[in-house]
């Protein structure tokens, strides 16, 4: 098992609970319903890919090729860029960071592409072995 990806997956799962709970209790009345949907989308994708990282950590023992490791790093990159940018975009008015929307907006698709690359590398890593 790859402790790096298992640790990162566990950490992202725990942070997802904290971030989701914080949003439900602290943000719901402070941001628009649409912004809340965007924020929750970030939390959901963080959870899905926290679980994917746990799977990568477990599969890395059986499938010892670089594709499995690439999958893990792309999943992590996706969480940072996709979920992270959604968290920032949905709270920009609250935090006063509206001036960076043009910078943060294009980062979201990079995160989505990273998720896709992660799943592709996971597939290739399993098929290669």
Q: What is the pLDDT of residues 43-94, one digit of tens each?
A: 999 999 999 999 999 999 888 889 999 999 999 999 999 999 999 999 988 8
CB 39 within 8 A of CB 27: yes
Neighbour count for residue 29 (Cβ, 10 Å): 7
Distance, CA of 1 to chain centre: 21
What tokens does 122 get? 């996971």
Task: Report the C-alpha gap between 37 and 18 in whole angstroms.
Answer: 17
For tokens 């926290």, the residue is: 50
Determine the pLDDT at residue 1: 64
What tokens does 46 get? 């963080």
Res 129 pLDDT > 80: no
Neighbour count for residue 87 (Cβ, 10 Å): 20
Task: Report the C-alpha gap between 60 and 68 in whole angstroms.
Answer: 6
Task: Report the C-alpha gap between 61 and 54 in whole angstroms.
Answer: 12
């Amino acid at each position: 098992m790859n402790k790096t990806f298992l640790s990162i997956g566990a950490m992202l799962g725990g942070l997802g609970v904290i971030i989701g709970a914080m949003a439900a209790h602290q943000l719901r009345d402070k941001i628009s319903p649409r912004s809340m949907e965007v924020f929750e989308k970030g939390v959901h994708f963080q959870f899905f890919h926290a679980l994917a990282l746990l799977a990568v950590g477990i599969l890395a023992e059986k499938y010892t090729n670089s594709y499995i490791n690439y999958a893990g790093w792309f999943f992590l990159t996706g969480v940072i860029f996709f979920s992270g940018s959604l968290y920032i975009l949905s709270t920009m008015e609250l935090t006063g960071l509206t001036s960076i929307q043009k910078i943060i907006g294009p980062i979201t698709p990079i995160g989505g592409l990273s998720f896709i690359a992660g799943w592709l590398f996971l597939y290739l890593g399993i098929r290669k072995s």
